[in-house]
Amino acid sequence: MERILEVKDLHVSFHTYAGEVQAVRGVNFHVNKGEAVAIVGESGCGKSVTSQTIMKLIPMPPGEIKKGQILFQGDDLVKKSNKEMESIRGKDIGMIFQDPMTSLNPTMTIGNQIMEGLIKHQNMSKAAAKTRAVELLEIVGIPQPDRRVNQYPHEFSGGMRQRAMIAISLACSPKLLIADEPTTALDVTIQAQILDLMKDLQKKMGTSIILITHDLGVVAEMCDRVVVMYAGKVIEEGTVDEIFYNPQHPYTKGLLRSVPRLDLDRDEPLTPIFGTPPDLLRPPVGCGFTARCENAMRVCQEIDPELNDVNGPSHRAACWLQHPLAQGRS
């Protein structure tokens, strides 16, 4: 399968008064053409920093890409200048942000915000861009698009703003769409509409999607593969079925056990994960999950485990319990 994106050994730090926060500490994953990959994890695990680094949207300084490669269609984005990135952002890679209220420009009409990319990247005339903007609003299901195109974000409801944002990000038919918590700020009935829309567009346009979320239900509904992050690292990855039905890392197992399910009886007690994630100003030497892990061993404190294949090449976990030697394999 063709890989559209490959992130290799990515390290991102932020220099603060308190010291260097190692937000992303050696992340590896890839996205195949046409698939939807979820990145899940708690706040501060580095999932948003990873996605913003792909777009080169982190402010530098204080941010710094310390190491690693981001290969997009074979090209290393880390080496690209800001100018070169401008012709990739919005054209080849689109992004949907969490909060549609703050990520749209309140002083520009929705139409102008969609047209911006079309005029810049596709050399469209103003008139042609406007016609396309109306079409796009119609595709994302906004009623009366020819009237709505001239309105400002404050005249749109939350769900409609998110639709408008999707229209902007899809304007130039990007090959990769990064959606950072696209439905977190929305109500569930509106979330269902937006997820339906994204699935539909993915099918029609063959776009690859990176979906960043903490909602495991959304992952089960939308994605083909899952990357689980913890304390700035990938600790497990696999297909949705592998992750949901056969999780290997104690953190992934804990995450799945700590959410109540609508379809199950309420008599089963919830099992929380005790404690809090480590401080990335002073990241732990060994496995970042040691302090919260019920299966922690001495080796976990001292040496950080690598991602190892478990049950086949698509499923990998970074845990000493899954190490080939611990499994009696060699």
Which positions touch another protein (CB under 8 A)?
42-43, 157-160, 187-193, 195-196, 214-221, 240-241, 244-245, 254-256, 258-263, 265-266, 269-274, 276
Q: Which residue has the tokens 């991102």?
A: 12
Q: How far is CA 121 from the centre of its chain?
A: 24
Q: Which residues contact 177 (CB under 8 A, 6 or more apart)?
A: 93, 94, 95, 96, 169, 170, 202, 207, 208, 209, 210
The smaller minimum CB distance to another protein, of residues 79 and 204, is found at 204
The smaller minimum CB distance to another protein, of residues 44 and 305, is found at 44
Smallest gap from residue 246 Cβ to another protein (A): 12
252-289: string of b/e by CB count within 10 Å (b at 16+)? Answer: bbbbeeeeeeeeeeeeeeeeebeeebbebeebbebbbb
Using DSSP bridges, classify how beta strands 208-213 and 36-40 pair: parallel, antiparallel or unpaired: parallel
Q: Which helix (H) or strand (E) holds 148?
A: helix 145-148
Smallest gap from residue 51 Cβ to another protein (A): 18
Smallest gap from residue 163 Cβ to another protein (A): 11
The smaller minimum CB distance to another protein, of residues 109 and 239, is found at 239
Smallest gap from residue 42 Cβ to another protein (A): 4
Using DSSP bridges, classify how beta strands 63-72 and 3-16 pair: parallel, antiparallel or unpaired: antiparallel
Using DSSP bridges, classify how beta strands 176-180 and 93-96 pair: parallel, antiparallel or unpaired: parallel
80-95: string of b/e by CB count within 10 Å (b at 16+)? Answer: beeeeeeebbbbbbbb
The smaller minimum CB distance to another protein, of residues 60 and 220, is found at 220
Smallest gap from residue 56 Cβ to another protein (A): 27
Smallest gap from residue 309 Cβ to another protein (A): 21
Instruction: Kindly report the length of the chain.
Output: 330
The smaller minimum CB distance to another protein, of residues 281 and 303, is found at 281
The smaller minimum CB distance to another protein, of residues 36 and 307, is found at 36
The smaller minimum CB distance to another protein, of residues 72 and 289, is found at 289
* β-sheet bridge partners, residue 234: 229
The smaller minimum CB distance to another protein, of residues 105 and 157, is found at 157
Smallest gap from residue 79 Cβ to another protein (A): 35
Q: Can you tell me the distance from the alpha carbon of 21 to that of 281, in angstroms, rounded to the nearest whole number?
A: 4
Cα distances (Å, whole numbers) of residue 89 to 166, 173, 176, 210 = 14, 12, 10, 15
Smallest gap from residue 248 Cβ to another protein (A): 16
